[in-house]
Structure 1
């Protein structure tokens, strides 16, 4: 299969995950989830919450907590947690190191960008506003798997981003940091750049065809530039 990162491919769209790729929000979000779980009598540390829930949509997290608690939580639990996250991100959201500079570099390459995340659109708008990245992502370029009702690892949000851009999945590259998101990109038939420190394990299904791993965002623009140059000369 030819992918967007192959010399014989056509790179036409870059799709970013939000949390852990653009906005450094996984840690605070997972700590808030752990605190909520402990308030319900569960013994879940902040570290365990990050390992278990990073990249997951809130309804998925609530379902897991209900299973452990042994009974249903109030129907509005996910909505309440999401509103708390929105308010928190309006105050403390920070960009992942190098994210604003990286986005400027991708723009200079002439590549269109979109976001596909398990966060709600409201959460992402709060995060991008606080971190100064709203200029890169108008509302019509921000897509929520949670709001669609098809959270990752389902590929729906990535396939939808490609559809509205008017490009084929094999012409897209997804930038992800979580196992859940990388699996969604794989299922969508898209190339994936996995952003992950070298001392952390890869997803169990890694490596997959047409995918690359980087340790820092400053590696992304050179990678995309080389890809475009190789495709121009192919």
Structure 2
């Protein structure tokens, strides 16, 4: 079966299925202490959208000379876990997934989150069974995170498809570039973002179109 001509749909996670960015960066600011307050949540969000934690730490070292103190990763994880819950699911996301399942279109998840974080978040929002074995992160491709194309190529292959047969839903420039490089068609989703320039930036990065809600995604897919 297909939806809008696509044999499979691959989802990014944060910003596409769950609205966790605000929660995550509140945790970063809190765990960073004075440096987090000085740099600010918005600057961290702008720099870190779509990146792994390790990539954001590299940015903090290069741009601000900041090194994480002992225990930082554990503190960050604790703060995030305490704040994250079922309410993080983006409006309409569950219906998009249900519509694709009903149409017989296979789905996969491709996220830059760590394995532990991915499993935790999937469980908290009730999506573990929805993706089953088709939930992937850089640990499945030798640590090669987006913007490398490996993760999206891996997800497509695991579904038994070529990347050219798959649609990717993304909300970050890093993710769009990864999916385009993999050979997938990409739609940009801006449901959790408030920067009016983002849609144009996603298109410039290679997204075929942009959508502002899951209701628009469902209509575009004919669900």
Residue aligned with 1:132, SS? coil
Structure 1 segments unaligned to the other structure (5+ residues): 227-234
TM-score normalised according to structure 1 size:
0.80
- The alignment status of 1:53 with 2:53, answered yes or no, reads no
Give the structure 2 partner of residue 222 of structure 1: 219
Residue aligned with 2:42, SS? helix
1:174 maps to which of 156, 159, 168: 168
Q: Which runs of 4+ in 1 moved over 6 A?
A: none
Give the structure 2 partner of residue 144 of structure 1: 137
- Is the Cα–Cα contact under 8 Å of residues 58 and 82 in structure 1 kept in the other structure? no
State the aligned residue count. 218
**Per the alignment, do residues 209 and 45 of structure 1 end up closer, same or farther by CA in structure 2, a change over 3 Å counting?**
closer
Point out the more displaced range, 121-130 or 186-195. 121-130
Give the structure 2 partner of residue 231 of structure 1: none
TM-score normalised according to structure 2 size:
0.84
| CA deviations over 1:175-233 (Å, ceiling 9, x no partner) | 0111111111111111011101586213546246671211101122222238xxxxxxx
**Per the alignment, do residues 82 and 14 of structure 1 end up closer, same or farther by CA in structure 2, a change over 3 Å counting?**
farther
Structure 2 segments unaligned to the other structure (5+ residues): none
**Per the alignment, do residues 182 and 82 of structure 1 end up closer, same or farther by CA in structure 2, a change over 3 Å counting?**
farther
Superposed, 1:6-155 pairs within 5 Å as: 11-40=6-35, 43-70=38-65, 72-73=67-68, 77=72, 79-80=73-74, 83-84=77-78, 87-88=81-82, 91=85, 94-138=88-132, 140-145=133-138, 148-155=142-149
- Is the Cα–Cα contact under 8 Å of residues 173 and 191 in structure 1 kept in the other structure? yes
Distance 2:80 2:37 in 1: 24
Distance 1:39 1:94 in 2: 27
Give the structure 1 partner of residue 183 of structure 2: 189
- The alignment status of 1:200 with 2:200, answered yes or no, reads no
